[in-house]
Amino acid sequence: MDFKLKDNHYIYVICIVTIIIYCRVMFYPFLPLDDLQLIKDRMILLMNPGNIINILFSPLYDQQALILFRPILNLSFMLDAIVGGGSEFIFHFSNLIYHLLSIILINILLTTFCNSKKFAGILTFIFAVHPINIHAVAWISGRNDILLAIIVFTSLITFHKFIVSTKNYWFFIHIILVFLSIYIKENAIVLTPLLILLLYQYRLDIFRKIIIVLSLTATCCLSLILRLNIVNFDVSFTDFTVLQFVSNTVFIIINYIGKFFIPVSYSVLPHLPDMSIYLGLISIVVILFCVFFTNRDNDKLFYIGILWFLLFLILPVIWSLSTGIGEFYEHRMYVPSFGILLSISQLRLKSSNQMVYKIGRSILISIISFLLVISSYRLKYYSDFNYFSKAAINESPSLARSYSLRGQYFHESGNQELAMEYYNQAINIRPNLYQILNSRGMIKLNTGNTKEAIEDFSRSIDLNHNYSVAHYNRGIAYFNSGLYFKSLSDYTTAISISPTNANYYNNRGFVFEYLEDYSSALQDYQKANLLLPGNQVIIDNINIVSIKLKNKLKTKQ
C-alpha cells in the first residue's frame, strides 16, 4: 500500500493540534540536565562553523561521555546555534519540527501496515500528544531519540518501497540510513535484526533475501567498527547478581508499559526505587484481555511490533542498570512506542455490531482527550528551573540528582544556605557523586571556607580524575590560599582534559602573570583569545601583560 499526504487529511489535524500543545515550549529555557553541558557551556564551540570536523569526529562531549558518539546530534546543535545565535527558541523550535516530522513518518508507516486509514490516524494522534513523549520534545537534549526515530522510520519506509517497487535506489538510501542510525544512538544496532525479521512479511525469492540480509549485516558491522575507533569503552559497571539484573530489567520494562497505557505516573527524572510496577501489571492484564477479544490482521506484524518495543528499549535499560545510573528517562520510549502502535494496528474487533464500533471509537476519542489534558498539564514542569527541580524531588524523592538540581537552583538564585542544604542531602544519599561534591565545594569557596572547598574538590577528583571542572575550581581555591604552584598544576591538568576551554587558559595565564612569568602568561591569554575572541577581559589581560613583558625586557637590557 502506498501513502500520499494529499489523500490523508488526518495528519494535518494531528500536526496542528500538536503545534498548539507544544508552541509554548519554544519560549522555555535550557533545562538543568545535559542541555548545559551539551549546548550552553559549548555555545562558543557550536557557533563556529570551523569546528564542524571536531564536532563530527569527537565523542559526545568532553571527558564525561566518551563512550557516547553522537555526531548527528552535535551537528543539529551546531546548526541551531549558528542559525539562532545561541537562542533557546531556535533549539526548541527545531525539536518541535523534528517531532512533527516523526509524526508524519509514523503515520506513513501505520497507514502502510494497517488496513484502516482512520485507525492509523487515531494511533498517530496518540503518539503525537502522548505525555510519555514530552521529555523528548520539551528537553532539547532529548531530541536524540526524535532524530533516531526520523532515521529509523525513514529506513523502514525506504525498505518497504524497495521491496514493493524493486527499484535499487530505494535500497541504497535504506542502507545509508541504517549506517547513520548507529551514529545517532547506540541502541539502533537492533534495527538490523528487526529488518531481517520483517523480510518474512514479504514474498521474496531466497537469493534476494540472502543478499538483503548480508548487506544489512555488513553495513551494521562496518558502522560499529568505525565507531570503535572514536569512542572509549573504559566504563565501570555496577555489580549485580543475575537474578537482580533480570528482575530489575523486567520491572522497568513493565513500568514503561504502564506509563504508555495508563498515563498518570510520570517523572522528570524516573528513578528505580521510586517507580511502581502496579500500573504496568494492570496494563498487561488489559492488553491480554483485548488481544483475546480481537482478531489480528497480520500475526507477523503483531509480533514484530512487540519485538520492536522490547529490543529498542532493552539496551537503554541495561545501560542504566549496569552502570548504576538508575535513571530511566521517558524519552527512551519515543522509538519503542512505534512497536506498541504497530501491534495495536493489527487488532480488529471480532464483533461486526455497529454499536460496538461506536463505543470503541468513543473510547479512543476519550483516550486522546485525556492524553491532551495530561500533556498540557505536565509541560509546565519543563518551563523553568524552579518547576523542574521541584518536580524532580516530588516525583523521585530517593534520587540524589533531584536534590542536587534543587541545590543548583538555589545556588544560581543566590540562596547559598538552601543550596548547601540540598547538596548535603544529595551527598548523604550518594556520597560518591563527584559533580555534587564539586558544586558544594563552589559554595564553600564563595563563602570563604577555602580549606573545606579544597577537600570537596579533591574528593571529586579522586572519584573522577578526568573531571576538568573540579581541577579548575581547585586551582582557584589553591590560588586564593597562596598555593600558586599547586594552582598552576591543577589548571594545567584541566587544560589537558579540556583543551578548548578559554577560561582554563585565562586563569592559568593569571597565575603565570602573578609569578611574573609574563611570556607564558601572554601565550595563555592569546590562546584564550583564540578560543573566545572578542572577550574584553581577555583582551585587557593581553594588553596589560604585554606591557609588563616589555618593561621586564627593558629592565634586563
**pLDDT, tens digit (0-9, with 9 covering 90-100), for 46-84:** 888 888 887 777 777 544 445 678 889 999 999 999 999
115-138: string of b/e by CB count within 10 Å (b at 16+)? eebebbbbbbbbbbbbbbbbbbbb
| Whether residue 132 sits in one domain with residue 16 | yes
* Grid cell at residue 89: 527558541
Report the C-alpha gap between 18 and 64 in whole angstroms: 35
Report the C-alpha gap between 67 and 369 in whole angstroms: 41
pLDDT of residue 353: 63
- Looking up cell 577560561 gives 503
DSSP state, 348?
Answer: E
| Whether residue 350 sits in one domain with residue 424 | no
pLDDT of residue 1: 44
Query: In angstroms, what CA-CA distances link 200 with 33, 250, 295, 346?
Result: 42, 28, 21, 16
| Whether residue 389 sits in one domain with residue 300 | no
Q: Which residues pair with 327 in a beta bridge?
A: 271
70 and 60 Cβ atoms separated by less than 8 Å: yes
| Whether residue 238 sits in one domain with residue 344 | yes
β-pairing, 294-296 vs 347-349, is antiparallel
Q: Measured in Å, how far apart are the chain's first and last C-alpha atoms?
A: 87
- Looking up cell 524519552 gives 331
DSSP state, 327?
Answer: B
| Whether residue 113 sits in one domain with residue 50 | yes
Domain at 491, CATH number: 1.25.40.10
Report the C-alpha gap between 132 and 313 in whole angstroms: 14
Task: Give the other-Cβ count within 10 Å of 316's Cβ.
Answer: 21
| Whether residue 394 sits in one domain with residue 357 | no
Report the C-alpha gap between 522 and 542 in whole angstroms: 6
Q: Does the pTM exceed 0.95? A: no
pLDDT of residue 236: 55
Which residues lie below 8 Å from residue 42, measured CB to CB, with a gap of 6+?
61
| Whether residue 353 sits in one domain with residue 485 | no
Rounded to 5 degrees, what are φ and ψ at 219? -65, -45
pLDDT of residue 67: 65
Report the C-alpha gap between 451 and 91 in whole angstroms: 41
Query: In angstroms, what CA-CA distances link 170 with 2, 181, 217, 529, 556?
Result: 14, 16, 17, 49, 74
| Whether residue 351 sits in one domain with residue 400 | no
321 and 264 Cβ atoms separated by less than 8 Å: no
The full length of the chain comes to 557
Which residues lie below 8 Å from residue 316, measured CB to CB, with a gap of 6+?
187, 328, 332
Domain boundary among 345, 366, 382: 382
Within the chain, which residues score under 50 in pLDDT?
Answer: 1, 3, 5, 62-65
| Whether residue 411 sits in one domain with residue 344 | no
- CA dihedral sign, ordered 416, 418, 422, 427: positive
Report the C-alpha gap between 73 and 51 in whole angstroms: 15
470: exposed, middle or buried (Cβ count in 10 Å: 0-12, 13-18, 19+): buried
Query: In angstroms, what CA-CA distances link 275 with 43, 258, 334, 475, 482?
Result: 35, 11, 19, 41, 49
Domain boundary among 382, 401, 436: 382
Alpha helices in 498-535 (DSSP H): 502-514, 518-531
- DSSP letter string over 286-308? HHHHHHHTEEES-HHHHHHHHHH
DSSP state, 482?
Answer: T
- DSSP letter string over 128-166? HH-GGGHHHHHSGGGHHHHHHHHHHHHHHHHHHHHHHH-
Report the C-alpha gap between 332 and 267 in whole angstroms: 13
541 and 503 Cβ atoms separated by less than 8 Å: no
pLDDT of residue 64: 45
Task: Look at the chain and report how many structural domains it folds into.
Answer: 2
* Grid cell at residue 184: 545517532
pLDDT of residue 557: 60
Report the C-alpha gap between 127 and 28 in whole angstroms: 22
| Whether residue 134 sits in one domain with residue 237 | yes
Report the C-alpha gap between 415 and 37 in whole angstroms: 23
| Whether residue 339 sits in one domain with residue 462 | no
| Whether residue 551 sits in one domain with residue 408 | yes
pLDDT of residue 63: 44
Which residues lie below 8 Å from residue 407, measured CB to CB, with a gap of 6+?
418, 419, 420, 421, 422, 423, 425, 426, 436, 439, 440
Domain extent, residue 486, equals 385-556
Query: In angstroms, what CA-CA distances link 173 with 69, 101, 155, 255?
Result: 22, 18, 8, 36
Domain boundary among 320, 349, 382: 382
